[in-house]
Chains A and B, each alone.
Chain A
């Protein structure tokens, strides 16, 4: 019985698996210095940017793929991937000039750009394959001095800001995937909120891999200057393909004195089929720094996609009295694997961090939480509270927790709580007896379990995330 229900609830199909028939400028597969130069040339980058890429590439050559994660990663042939693919356009000036096929794709994804401009007041930067297609609302934001544009545009128009902040939180030597991204990244988003400005709308970026055999390497850089505030959302999907696709992104966030950044993401890359064929390899480095006093950063993530996820949105708490939060729901089903968590590095006095991780495993998947809490020598009165919960659906999946703590200041208080539970047949039957079908019961129970995290998401994202949780687990319980 248990298996039956589990089986039923996890069989829904990935609904973003379509591809878009669009003219694409794609470079041949393979990776060497010439490719790095070619990418830079395609993007008409200044010399300093090329130098940065080459430095990263040369360093990458000396590195090995990390093996410490609780993941089985098939060998990746980095020479069989194309590192640059772009819809062939000549830089749209307005929505009228954007390829109608591309607009159709974004409409299918539920992001009608025009409508969003008109109705929801969300500014959207949509990145398809490697380039940023169109940033909406730029003019409205510019009046407040807010910069929200594609990374390429920022390199061209705001080189001072890019040079000052890029790689200041995630250096090129940070890790294998960060070095790779730094060498070949194609586009991404840049956000700058000036001093004292409260961003009047949610900023959001959608990433989409479309072309075959391509990797997606985008980077996001968010800088919140003193006394500013911004809430930033990111969503992502990819078409259904039999071969695996590589996604290695970098997100860097810099939060100055008294500023606050909320970063939310719903990650729904193609997870592969029910037998574990295909799917996106998602190796992402996300890190923020609370640089100034009283600064605040919160990460909220809902992870439902990707065949393999390797991702630890982290925060360096440098400013005194700064605080950071990490709220995560990670769902794995079928053959998906996730090793995800966070790092909280307390350097300043009276710094506080809160970690709430909710893992949900179904099918034959494996879901690991890996978290580090480090309290530096000078972090007087640092405070951390971590709670890691795992929910198992069925008995063929795995949930693992790897908490690390390094406390070097005796005034610090660090707490960790972990629980593991199963959706029981009794719970399902109780719902059934009240007229609720098993599938709806699982949705109800899972959403109840993840509620504390989902409540942290902006409204429209929360609704999407709830549906996504239910869809991801369709066909799975007991």
Chain B
């Protein structure tokens, strides 16, 4: 599904990703862990086409297409979804209007007719239940006045609505209390199937108790330096990142 080869990327002239290689297949969950500043969020930004970052080297193919050639909205419509670490507020734009616009853009991209009002409302209701989203949240403006937890839940709700083939969860656990974490993780697990894949970017092992990864990668200094199964996350939780640094620098 996704093949990243020797990816290098800069922000403001500073190289953050320094030759990252990663392959993700349908049905897999990959966790990416690593110390602050390793390039975890940069990876999410680069994959989704954030214009603040510049790719200098390497390739990314997604469902056989050259992802780096596509505009951010095309990547989204190809099936890449990012659950933002800090979702922005868009005052005055209702969640309903925002979601309908997004769904219809996706349908247009796939040569489908716009969704009917009834189907749209049905879909909203169904997905809201799935992620245990409060009714009142969808009648408000996009993220406006939402608490940290509500924003994250809203991200997962949008993910449910757009049904992506690759979801990237960027520090989705940050700022969540244990109950909110469980709800968000449940939502992610319910959306999981054999055809889609998930990249979970996280600092802590905690989230991985709920979303169990097939692979755990350690990102350090712009590269993946170690890959293992879920036990690697436990080991990191236990020992920290210093031993990885020593291994790499040795």
Closest chain B residue, CB of each to CB of A5: B51
Q: Is residue A160 contacting chain B, with contact meaning CB distance below 8 A?
A: no
Q: Is residue A231 contacting chain B, with contact meaning CB distance below 8 A?
A: no
Q: Is residue A109 contacting chain B, with contact meaning CB distance below 8 A?
A: no
| Segment touching B, from A72-80, A189-197, A279-287, A442-450 | A442-450
Contacts of A425 in B (CB 8 A): 51-52
Q: Is residue B13 contacting chain A, with contact meaning CB distance below 8 A?
A: no
Contacts of B93 in A (CB 8 A): 444-445, 447-448
Number of interface residues of A (CB under 8 A): 24
> Complex Cα distance A438/B94, Å?
18
A-B interface pairs (CB < 8 A), number: 76
| Segment touching B, from A9-17, A82-90, A400-408, A426-434 | A426-434
Closest chain A residue, CB of each to CB of B141: A448
- Is there an interface contact between A449 and B92, defined as CB atoms closer than 8 Å? yes
Q: Is residue B165 contacting chain A, with contact meaning CB distance below 8 A?
A: no
- Is there an interface contact between A432 and B76, defined as CB atoms closer than 8 Å? yes
Kindly provide the distance from the CB of A448 to the nearest chain B CB, expressed in whole angstroms.
3
Q: Is residue A19 contacting chain B, with contact meaning CB distance below 8 A?
A: no
Known: A444-B93, A445-B90, A448-B91. A435 touches B106 (CB 8 A): yes
Residue of B48, B51, B77 ringed by the most chain A CB atoms within 10 A: B51
Q: Is residue B241 contacting chain A, with contact meaning CB distance below 8 A?
A: no
Q: Is residue A118 contacting chain B, with contact meaning CB distance below 8 A?
A: no
Name B51's contact: one of A1, A440, A445, A449 (CB within 8 Å): A1
> Complex Cα distance A444/B84, Å?
20
Contacts of B98 in A (CB 8 A): 431, 434, 444
Q: Is residue B194 contacting chain A, with contact meaning CB distance below 8 A?
A: no
Q: Is residue A163 contacting chain B, with contact meaning CB distance below 8 A?
A: no
Residue of B48, B81, B98 ringed by the most chain A CB atoms within 10 A: B98
Known: A424-B88, A440-B101. A433 touches B52 (CB 8 A): no
- Is there an interface contact between B90 and A448, defined as CB atoms closer than 8 Å? yes
Kindly provide the distance from the CB of A439 to the nearest chain B CB, expressed in whole angstroms.
10
A residues adjacent to B (C-beta < 8 A): 1, 424-427, 429-438, 440, 444-445, 447-452
> Complex Cα distance A426/B90, Å?
10
Q: Is residue B196 contacting chain A, with contact meaning CB distance below 8 A?
A: no
Contacts of B71 in A (CB 8 A): 432, 437
Q: Is residue B87 contacting chain A, with contact meaning CB distance below 8 A?
A: yes
Interface string of B78-91 (1 = CB under 8 A from A): 00011010011011
Kindly provide the distance from the CB of A328 to the nearest chain B CB, expressed in whole angstroms.
16
Residue of B76, B82, B90 ringed by the most chain A CB atoms within 10 A: B90
Interface residues of B in 159-218 (CB under 8 A from A): 162
- Is there an interface contact between A430 and B91, defined as CB atoms closer than 8 Å? no
Kindly provide the distance from the CB of B245 to the nearest chain A CB, expressed in whole angstroms.
32
Q: What are the 4 A-B residue pairs with the smallest beta carbon separation, nearest first? A: A448-B92, A448-B93, A432-B72, A435-B76
Contacts of B102 in A (CB 8 A): 434-436
Q: Is residue B28 contacting chain A, with contact meaning CB distance below 8 A?
A: no
Closest chain A residue, CB of each to CB of B45: A429
- Is there an interface contact between A427 and B88, defined as CB atoms closer than 8 Å? yes
Contacts of A444 in B (CB 8 A): 90, 93, 97-98, 101
Closest chain A residue, CB of each to CB of B77: A435
Kindly provide the distance from the CB of B87 to the nearest chain A CB, expressed in whole angstroms.
7
Q: Is residue B158 contacting chain A, with contact meaning CB distance below 8 A?
A: yes
Q: Is residue B15 contacting chain A, with contact meaning CB distance below 8 A?
A: no
